[in-house]
Amino acid sequence: MIYLDNAATTYPKPDAVIQAMDYANKNLAVNAGRGAYHFAREASKVIADTKNKIRNIISADRTASVIFTPSITIALNEVIHGMKWMPGDVVYASPYEHNAVARTLNAVQSSCGIKIKLLPVNQDTLEIDVEKIKYEFSQDKPKAVFCTHVSNVTGYILPIHDIFTEAKKYDAITVLDSAQSLGLVNVNAQELNADIVAFAGHKTLYGPFGIGGFVNVNNISLEPSIYGGTGSDSLNLQMPDDKELGFEPSSMNIVAVNGLNAALSELNQSKLLDKEQKLTNYLIEELRKIPEIKLHLPSDLTQHVGIVSFTINGMVSEDVGTILDEDFDIAVRTGYHCAPWIHEIINDKKSLGTVRIGLGQFTSKEDIDELVKALFEFV
């Protein structure tokens, strides 16, 4: 199989990750923080070490809280539901947001009466209009601003620094979804003015499923939204007043944590970025040779990496994916990619969404050649 669905999850995982998970299953698969025995202490050390590696990769201070969750979706739910909302609060989100943000904000809007506004986009370039943002913020002051770093639909790298710098003029809370960027694109939380950085272990970090989380870089006040045992202060019916434990109920997935630890140790961000940029440019160049294909890209391709979406005149995206799978053994993603707002802008309902190519560290130029060859055969 030629695997081109790395935006959904990177595959395969590096050998070091697989080996680390196997080791943890055999030697560390106990309840960290809940026992006075050797294995439990070792598991706790792995968790602490992995959290330090997460802090390092986003250049966060050692005092920044790192909360591990089973996924970035749960992490973003904890962040959004943990904020203190008042009716009429204005929240801005990019139109590129995943449903992990979009649906959760919609739920808060229904329950608390917040106002959601989308950051303006230039329809011709599919790029964020920073000048219009300045005006929007001055008219409707933001309580919080949510932005994905790299679009999971178009591969567009959003101008996070510019957006969050404007937001900070109004003391807004800034939340970055780094699912498609961390480990690939430089994420310096302080330089980007990001208060909170949410991350997914199984995407561009090349870790396993079952581990994600968020870094509360500037220790923004949040209330727990998920309750349960933490292995500490167990007679107290309130969640522990602890900036990490208070947001980590239930047993920690130490096997996934150890896999993420190995992934972070193996990571070579600059090498990955250089490879994916070259492959992305080559893929775009080759797809442009097929007249029936419409590419959905930002105009400035220097602000784009790893993900290419397209539609084909007269074809439904799912049919394209089925043909590539059944006739050519090529795996791609089709549909709306859990990002409803941007699909409205690129207007792809006639094709029922896009065909999405997600590149990764194990993708080769030959894989792209095979994809393009296959498309030439039936388009």
Encode burial over 3-27: b for 16+ CB neighbours within 10 A, e otherwise.
bbbbbbbbeebbeebeebbeebeee
How far is the CA of 275 from the CAs of 194, 268, 269, in angstroms? 27, 11, 10
3-state helix, strand, coil in the chain (%, to 5): 40, 15, 40
Residue 106 reports pLDDT greater than 80: yes
pLDDT digits (tens, 9 = 90+) for 289-316: 999 999 999 999 999 999 999 999 999 9
Instruction: Check residue 237 and give its pLDDT.
Output: 86
Residue 27 predicted with pLDDT over 80: yes
Identify the DSSP state of 262: H
pLDDT at position 240 over 90: no
- The answer to whether the Cα torsion of 224, 228, 231, 234 is positive or negative is positive
* pLDDT of 161 over the 90 cut: yes
Band the pLDDT of 11: cuts 50, 70, 90: very high
All domains of the chain in start order, with CATH: 2-10+268-378 (3.90.1150.10), 15-266 (3.40.640.10)
CB 68 within 8 A of CB 257: yes
Mean pLDDT lowest for which of 11-25, 142-156, 226-240, 361-375? 226-240
Distances (CA, A) of 5 to 18, 213, 258: 20, 22, 24
Q: What average pLDDT does range 182-211 have in this prediction?
A: 98
Q: Tokens for 74, please give them.
A: 């749960």
Q: Is the pTM of this model over 0.75?
A: yes
At residue 32, the pLDDT reads: 87
d(CA 92, CA 36): 46
Q: How confident is the model at residue 31 (pLDDT cuts 50, 70, 90)?
A: confident
pLDDT at 67: 98
* Beta pairing partners, 77: none
DSSP-based three-state secondary structure for 306: coil
Is the distance from CB of 361 to CB of 10 less than 8 angstroms?
Answer: yes
Question: Would you call 370 helix, strand, or coil by DSSP?
Answer: helix
pLDDT of residue 301: 97
Residues 6+ apart with CB under 8 A from 313: 292, 294
pLDDT of residue 230: 86
CA angle at residue 226 from 229 to 215, to 5 degrees?
Answer: 100
Which tens digit of pLDDT belongs to each residue from 94-104? 999 999 999 99
Local confidence band at 83 (pLDDT 50, 70, 90 cut-offs): very high
Q: In which residue are the tokens 């990764």 written?
A: 360
Q: Once rounded to an integer, what is the mean pLDDT over residues 169-175?
A: 98
Helix (H) or strand (E) segment spanning residue 264: helix 254-266
Q: What is the band of 238 on the pLDDT scale with cuts at 50, 70, 90?
A: confident
Q: For position 140, what pLDDT does the model report?
A: 97
Q: Check whether 88 has a pLDDT greater than 90.
A: yes
User: Quick one: pLDDT band at residue 210, thresholds 50, 70, 90?
Assistant: very high
Question: d(Cα 47, Cα 24) in Å, to the nearest integer?
Answer: 12
Once rounded to an integer, what is the mean pLDDT over residues 45-72? 97
Q: How far apart are CA 192 and CA 337, in angstroms?
A: 26
Q: What is the mean pLDDT of residues 73-92?
A: 98
